[in-house]
Each structure stands twice: as C-alpha cells, then as structure tokens.
C-alpha cells in the first residue's frame, strides 16, 4: 500500500488544500478502510469558521467505505465489506470502560487516537465502529447513515412515543432526518419549520404534515394549532450554531410535561429563563451522537430505515464534488441560495 494518500486540510483560513499526507496509523485492533463517500456536516462548517490554525489531520465524519484490512481474530466482518463508519464512538472505543460496557461508546474514557477523518482516501478505525451496508444501499446512502443515526439516537434516547405530536425546529440535514425518523417511529403529526423554500420542500418529502417558515412565532403557533392548543408532545431543536432563538422556540412549542430534545448544539453562551420550563415541568433532553439503546446500535436502526425504501433521504444530497474540488463543496454548503442541503464529497 502507498505511503501517502490524498487528503483535504484547512489551511487555517477556511480554505481546503488537497495534498499528499502520510497514510493513517494502523494501531492495535484497527481496520483500514478505503473511503468512497463523505458528507459535509454543519459542524464541519462551524468548526472551519472557528479554526485559526492549519489542520494536521483531515476531518469529516459522515463516511462510507470498503474494508481493506482487519485485525486478527475479527469474525463479524470481512475484507471487501461495504460499511458505514461510526467515527466518533465505536471506531475508537476501548470497549472495556464504564461507558463502553453498556454501549455508550461516544463517552469512552480511553479512546484510541484520532488518526484522521473522511476528507481523505483512507481511515483507520476499530471494527466495532463498522456497520455493514446492505446491497440495496449505495455509497450515497452509506454517507447518510451518520446524520440519520444522530436523529434516531435523539428520538430513542429522548423516548419519543408513537402517536406523539412532534415539532422539529429547522429543516436542514438533522431536522430532515428527525422528521423522517419521527414518522417512522409512529408520530401522529409532525410540524416543521424551514428557513428556505427548498428546505420546506424537503421537509414535506420526509413526511412533515405541516411546514411553516421561520417567521417569529409561526412554529409555536402551528404546534399549538396541531394539538388543540396544548403544544407538541415532543419538540426537536435541530438548528444550533451561533444563535439561540431556536432553543427558545422549541421550549415555547412544547406542551406542559412534554419533552424538548436539544439536538442541534448552540455554540454560544446564552441567557435563558428556566423558570417557565420548571413551572411547566418540561423535560429538556440533551442528545449527542449515537450508542446502543434497548440492545441495538443507532447505526443499525438508521440503516434499517434507509433500507426500508420508505424514506427518500438520499434526495437531500443536492451537490456532489470530487475530493480534489472539495472547496467548491464547502462553498456550496455555506451558500444556501445555491439550493444546497447536503453536499457529498466523492473520494
């Protein structure tokens, strides 16, 4: 195998330079994966905007690829298997610590070193983080397992119930997977907000029953209207970023004793009046990444949903670029007037 590979590294100014870098380290217990598809996540955009120094390892965590090497003794997978790669938890987990013992690999206390991400030709990760793709799913579907698993995890961890009225603030990648997963899990009605017309169209495709724009108060009013004035049983905040209005919207739209799932990740400090949610006994449930719940990993559930053929999630991939042109992909992902929802990098 070659000693170097092609990879895209941010030069510290937000520009991704494709260059030759050393192959990722093969550490004890790791597999080698040839990457074929990597999605650009909203978090990749936010981190790029905040970065002030040049990268030394590639990022990218929405990955599908083919296994080239496996550690000795591995019996559940074989060389040549097509897999979705769980980069953050199982792919690095020690499998022995307090959190690993009950499948919460994202919280591993002794993770393996980060050897680089998906904006490159190869990665190394442990087999526990490799989930085989059925033949019905292609590389595009494989690159969408991670964002689907984020919402699957949030709804399962937050204990959304069948017949719930579900609200989703925001209709970007995670909002759209939340809509699709909520419908698959038996939501009675799903109300979503969308900032851009192409996001509203996508929300309807994913199964949203009611879609409103991002005008002040529109989402909260729609959730009340859809629930006889009570409020939604379960509301997902999927936006996050450098604003906090979406968090407040989600709380306002949640019924007394309902659940607000904090999924988007607000990246700025915020002032928030906690008196209203305590009076109304609202459960604010944070969720991040994925793990094992009720005996099944969220990646397995996400793959089953995509394999069902009932969710047109692959339609959210509006742009595809080659690795050598990754900067064009980041530019399109930033510019929502381009019609972008999900941008994929073909490796």
Instruction: Give residue 217's region: left, alpha or beta (phi > 0; psi -120 to 50).
Output: left
The rounded percent of the chain whose pLDDT value lies above 90 is 95
Question: Could you give all domains of the chain from N- to C-terminal order, each with its CATH number?
Answer: 4-146+292-346 (3.90.180.10), 159-286 (3.40.50.720)
What residues have CB less than 8 Å from 194, skipping those under 6 apart? 170, 171, 175, 200, 202, 203, 211, 212, 213, 214
User: Distances in Å between the alpha carbon of 221 and those of 22, 113, 226, 275?
Assistant: 54, 47, 9, 21
Q: Express each pLDDT in 314-344 by its tens digit.
A: 999 999 999 999 999 999 999 989 999 999 9
Q: Express each pLDDT in 259-304 by its tens digit.
A: 999 999 998 999 889 999 999 999 999 999 999 999 999 999 999 9
Please determine, for residue 1, whether its predicted confidence score (pLDDT) is greater than 90: no
pLDDT in the model for residue 93: 97
Q: Express each pLDDT in 25-73 by its tens digit.
A: 999 999 999 999 999 999 999 899 989 999 999 999 999 999 999 999 9
Q: What's the CA gap between 182 and 171, in Å, rounded?
A: 13
pLDDT in the model for residue 2: 83
pLDDT in the model for residue 323: 98
Q: In terms of DSSP bridges, do strands 62-69 and 82-85 run parallel, antiparallel, or are they unpaired?
A: antiparallel
> How many of the other CB atoms lie within 10 Å of CB of 144?
28
For the chain, counts of helices (H) and of strands (E): 10, 17
Q: What's the CA gap between 160 and 162, in Å, rounded?
A: 7
Q: What is the pTM of this model?
A: 0.97
Q: In terms of DSSP bridges, do strands 292-293 and 296-297 run parallel, antiparallel, or are they unpaired?
A: antiparallel
Please determine, for residue 154, whether its predicted confidence score (pLDDT) is greater than 90: yes
């Amino acid at each position: 195998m070659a000693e170097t590979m092609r990879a895209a590294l941010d030069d510290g100014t937000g520009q991704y330079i494709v260059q030759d870098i050393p192959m990722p380290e093969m550490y004890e217990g790791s597999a080698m994966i040839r990457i074929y598809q990597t999605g650009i996540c909203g978090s990749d955009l936010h981190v790029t905007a905040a970065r002030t120094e040049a990268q030394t390892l590639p990022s990218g965590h929405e990955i599908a690829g083919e296994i080239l090497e496996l550690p000795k003794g591995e019996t559940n997978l074989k060389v040549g298997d097509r897999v979705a790669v769980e980069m953050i938890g199982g792919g690095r987990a020690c499998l022995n610590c307090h959190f690993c013992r009950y499948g919460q690999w994202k919280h591993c206390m002794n993770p393996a070193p980060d050897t680089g991400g998906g904006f490159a030709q190869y990665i190394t990760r442990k087999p526990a983080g490799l989930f085989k793709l059925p033949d019905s799913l292609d590389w595009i579907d494989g690159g969408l397992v991670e964002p689907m698993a984020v919402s699957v995890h949030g709804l399962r961890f937050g204990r959304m119930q069948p017949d719930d009225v579900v609200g989703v603030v925001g209709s970007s990648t995670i909002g759209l997977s939340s809509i699709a997963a909520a419908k698959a899990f038996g939501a009675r009605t799903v109300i979503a907000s969308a900032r851009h017309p192409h996001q509203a169209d996508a929300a309807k495709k994913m199964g949203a029953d009611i879609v409103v724009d991002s005008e002040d108060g529109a989402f909260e009013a729609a959730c009340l209207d859809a629930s006889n004035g009570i409020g939604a049983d379960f509301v997902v905040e999927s936006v996050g970023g450098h604003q906090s209005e979406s968090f407040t919207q989600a709380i306002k739209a949640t019924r007394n004793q309902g659940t607000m799932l904090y999924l988007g990740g607000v990246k700025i400090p915020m002032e928030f009046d906690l008196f209203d949610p305590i009076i109304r006994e609202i459960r604010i449930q944070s969720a991040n990444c994925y793990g094992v719940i009720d005996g099944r990993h969220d990646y397995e559930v996400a793959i089953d949903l995509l394999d069902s053929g009932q969710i047109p999630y692959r339609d959210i991939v509006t742009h595809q670029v080659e690795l050598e042109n990754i900067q064009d992909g980041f530019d399109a992902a930033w510019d929502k007037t381009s019609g972008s929802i999900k941008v994929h990098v073909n490796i």
